[in-house]
Structure 1
Amino acid sequence: MKKLFIFTMLLVVSLFTTVFAAEPAVKGTGDPAREYISYFAGQKPFSDGASVIKPVVDAQGALKIEYVLQKGGWLGATCEQFYEDWSAFSGLQFTMAGGTGNKVRLELIDGNGVSYEVILVDDSAKGKTVTVPFSDFAARTDYQPAGADTDKPFSLVPVRTLNISPLSGKGTISFSNMKLYK
């Protein structure tokens, strides 16, 4: 009887912690003085296996993404450390340089686990300031993470993940000075 009680209690505790662990915790609030590129350091990139990506945050604080994307493939640099409330801000601003002419997806996973995107063009070798209002993000139609609730409205509480994914070709693209703005 005692063993059954202990087993039942362990099962209840396990189920309780699993249910609440699935809910993302807000780790903090966004900060306009914070340099968000640093969050990409040490993160493992993703790819289809045939495509190659090498993201590195250099000593100057720039994220340099060297890549070769195979036709029909996918890849990207990711940061899954955010879990911050960005609801007090209007968007992201950063510098992008490369001049490859290729499209790049800036992807944000919101508080509901839904993938939203903005497609940019890498059209400046010397670099340009890019301002992306959160209102420009649209739900991805080609992919959604498991469990994403696309019926719920876009939620910046908390922002879970930020991905940067070149969408074609090859080259090197640099991102720096990524900040939130009001």
Structure 2
Amino acid sequence: MTDEDSSAEGDSRPRSSTRPSRARRTVELDISLTAPGWETAVADISARAERAVLAALDHAEASGDLEVSLLLTDDAEQRELNRDHRGKDSSTNVLSFPAGFVPPAGPRPLGDISLALETVVREAEEQDKSVADHVSHLLVHGTLHLLGYDHGDDVEAEEMEALEREILASLDIADPYAGGEPLPGDARGAAA
């Protein structure tokens, strides 16, 4: 993922946030905006992303100095990522790419999460929920994948759903599975 952001106004400032969360760790969240529209679709997207990732890390009891990269992109770029890394020639709401190495010094990279704007907005409308809440859910889901959680079988899916419900409740977000919604589709990516 890149360290450069570009918003609808052509703003190209790096966005990075390092915040201590509980006494056991710090988290560096690098956010790259490569698609216009994110900042209007979700008010205060950076703060919302930080809250969702931190909540997932807190509930999963991750410790140490950690780093997560977030790519807020569009369907076209998400489709390329999905095709190139997973062999699926379609866009998807969220992709998670766990880090493939640990540097000898500095924060431990957990990996990258990528969200596709058009898919996320469409799904929120179809599921009659706010885009902001859907984004939070997808970020929690993606962060759990970076931590090794999966939903490859019924037992794993139930464990992951239960943890997501608990995390989202701590953020005052309604249970996304109450209406029978499936786990976010194709969320597990390839190692970056």
TM-score (norm 2): 0.27
- The structure that has the greater radius of gyration is 1
| Larger RCO, structures 1/2 (Cα 8 Å, 6+ apart) | 1
The structure in which a higher percent of residues are helix is: 2
The structure in which a higher percent of residues are strand is: 1
